[in-house]
Structures are given as C-alpha cells and as structure tokens.
Amino acid sequence: MSAKTRISIAPMVDITDRHFRYFCRLITSKAVLYTEMINSKTIIYGDKKRHLDFDPFEKPVVLQIAGCNKREVAEAVKIAEEWDYDEINLNVGCPSDRVSGNQMGAALMAYPELVAEMVEAMKKESKKPITIKHRIGIDGTNVLSSTLQQVVFNEYEDMERFVKIVSQAGVKHFIVHARIAILEGLSPKENREIPPLRYHEVYRLKEKLPQLIVEINGGVKSIDAINEHLRHVDGVMLGRIAYEDPFMLREIDGLYKESSPLKRSRREIIEALINYVQKIETDLGTSTNLLRNVLGLFANQRGSRKWRQLITPPWPKGYGGAQLLEEALKVLPSDILDDR
C-alpha cells in the first residue's frame, strides 16, 4: 500500500452524523470519516454547533460542503476553521434536484472553471487540503439547458478536462464515484444504482494524471474488491456497506501495514457504545437518534432480527439507549457477540 493510500467512509446524508462516525471509529482506527453533506448556507446561517461539532475521537474527519457560490463556500470554510476538521471536501457528485437544481452537486461538473474559482476562494480561508468528490460524468440535457446548449458530459475526456482545470486551482485529491449522474428523471437512490459503474475510467484518470491522488467510489463491498482497486488507484471510499454491514469495517486497519488492527468484538463495540450513549444522554437528554444507524451490526448473523427489533424505536417506556444495549448483551448469541 503506498504512503498516500487511504480507505474512507463516504459522506452520507442522514447516516454519517457524529454518532455514526463515533461508532465507525470503534471498529476501524484508520478509515477516514466524512460528515454528511452540509450546505454552505446552513453553515453560515444555521446552528453551527449542531452541524459542526464532533468528538476528537472521530478524527480524521473530513467536512463535506455543498455550494455553488464562491463567496458562500469560502465563508463556510472560514467558519469551519474553528472546528479543526482534517480536510474540506466539495460535493460535485450529488444528483439531487435540491442540489443540482441550484447548480450545485453533480451539476457543477459542467462548470469546471467555476469549481476552480470556488476552490481558490476556499483556499484563501484555510490551509487544510481541499478535495473534490465528483462523478465520472453527468447527463443533464434539460436541467441545465437554459445556461448551456448541451450538457451531456459523459465521455472520459470530459472528466479528465474537469479534473485538470480544478487541479490547477490547487486540488490534489479527487474522489470519483464511478457512475454518471442523471440529473433528471432518476431519484438520488436510482442514481446510485442505475447508471453502470465504469471503474476503468477512474483507473485511466490515475494513469493519465499520476501526480494526483485518485480515490475510487461506488459499489465496493468487500476487502478483496478494495485490494483489487488499490492495484490501480490510491484509495477506496466505501458508502452503503458501512451501514449495511459495519462489522466488515474491522478488516480495514489490516490493509495499513503500520497499524495494529483494533479487532474489537461486537460485545466490545456495544460496551463502548454504552459508555458513549450514557455521555450523550447526559449532554443531550436523549439517545434515540443515536442508535438509528447501527442496525447493521449483526448483518447476516444469527441475532440480526433480534438486534434490530431491540434498538428500533419506539423504545419501551423508561428505557434509554444504554439499557437497551445492556439488554442486547444478555439476549444475543454469545459466539456472535465475541467473534472477531
């Protein structure tokens, strides 16, 4: 594995909140974790502590910002400086209408010069690395036609041009979701499933621009698949598998030669979660939302249903998260709880 190699867990709205990141960090000490995508306006005008606070235990953590106005993204980066995120990532991959309708997210792929200007403005406000998460292309003929004649941006050469222009503004690290985004007619979920994966185009990008850090994303579900991608690119970003089967994340540390894997058992993870939940219950008065993204801890194992039933709200009267987790340790099969 090269010095630059990294494995990360993708930014995912409603999933990668601070509690989920804490949970992931109990399983892997090495994977780079991302926030959910946060709109630059939300950072500027919203409840900053609510959106930006995190526990230092989660580090390294990357803040992902969405925006399309260079003054706003720069202002958001300036505000976030106080929180000491390890890197700032700009979202150029989200196909959602809420985002692309505003010419943010994936739609920005049609405007590489604008993205370069945004990056330059962000770099004036922070010394942290600025990275870009994008798609291999977009198809947005109608959505963007008021401003552009033709925005089918679907050829490898289009992506390479985008990356070259943006890298000239000082971005060295590109995370590429190996599908195009179809900006109309498909929901965000369909946009993660229907456009075919074109990994070879991401490999080609690394081949053509070897000085850049190229990280691949999309459909990676196993350690074998990670190892295969690492023969071609510098890093791999895992999305859905991280909440569908989070226990697989324990294998990640073993991919870094210098690390000694945590290899916590599910029992140890739950015990650590109990302490965390108690702390959060004291601080926030509730832990209901905290367990919503740990449902996959027993994926494909005996006890999976029981676990999901136990921690899915509504919880029995008088029960908090810590009591439910204690209960889980009593009723779930001990061989699965102690498996490493």
Ligand X SMILES: Cc1cc2nc3c(=O)[nH]c(=O)nc-3n(C[C@H](O)[C@H](O)[C@H](O)COP(=O)(O)O)c2cc1C
Tell me which residues are annotated as active site: 94
Supply the minimum distance, in Å, between the C-beta of residue 199 and ligand X: 12
When binding is defined by CB under 6 A, the residue of 140, 235, 239, 296 that contacts ligand X is 239
Residue number with CB closer to ligand X (181 or 325)? 181
Q: Residues 79, 40: contact at Cβ < 8 Å?
A: no
Nearest CB to ligand X, comparing residues 10 and 322: 10
Residue 91 touches ligand X, criterion: CB under 6 A:
yes
220 contacts ligand X (rule: CB under 6 A):
yes
Among 30, 51, 133, 264, interactor with ligand X by CB under 6 A: 133
DSSP alpha helix (H) spans, the chain: 18-27, 40-45, 48-52, 70-80, 97-100, 112-125, 156-167, 199-208, 223-230, 241-244, 266-284, 304-311, 321-331, 334-338
64 contacts ligand X (rule: CB under 6 A): yes
Q: Using an 8 Å Cβ cutoff, are 320 and 287 in contact?
A: yes
3-class SS of residue 235: strand
Q: Could you say which residues in the range 1-20 bind ligand X, by CB under 6 A?
A: 10-15
For ligand X, which is the closer residue by CB, 240 or 306? Answer: 240
Per-residue binding string, ligand X, 321-340, x by CB under 6 A, is --------------------
From residue 188, alpha-carbon distances to 93, 96, 101, 222 in Å are: 10, 5, 13, 23
Least distance in Å: CB of 239 to ligand X?
A: 2
**Interface region with ligand X, contact rule CB under 6 A, candidates 80-88, 234-242, 256-264, 276-284:** 234-242
Piece in contact with ligand X (CB under 6 A), picked from 20-28, 238-246, 270-278, 307-315: 238-246
138 binds ligand X (CB under 6 A): no
Nearest of 104, 126, 100 to residue 115 by alpha carbon: 104
**Least distance (Å) from ligand X to the CB of residue 209?**
21
Amino acid (one-letter) located at 37: M
Q: What is the CA radius of gyration of the chain?
A: 20
Distances (CA, A) of 136 to 92, 155, 335: 10, 8, 43
Q: What are 133's strand-pairing partners?
A: 91, 175
Minimum gap (Å) between residue 81 Cβ and ligand X: 21
User: Distances in Å between the alpha carbon of 182 and those of 32, 156, 193?
Assistant: 28, 16, 11
Mark residues 267-306: x for contact with ligand X by CB under 6 A, - for none: ----------------------------------------
Cis peptide before 314 (omega within 30 of 0): yes
- Residues at the site binding ligand X, with contacts judged by CB under 6 A: 10-15, 36-37, 64, 91, 93-94, 133, 177, 192, 217-220, 238-241
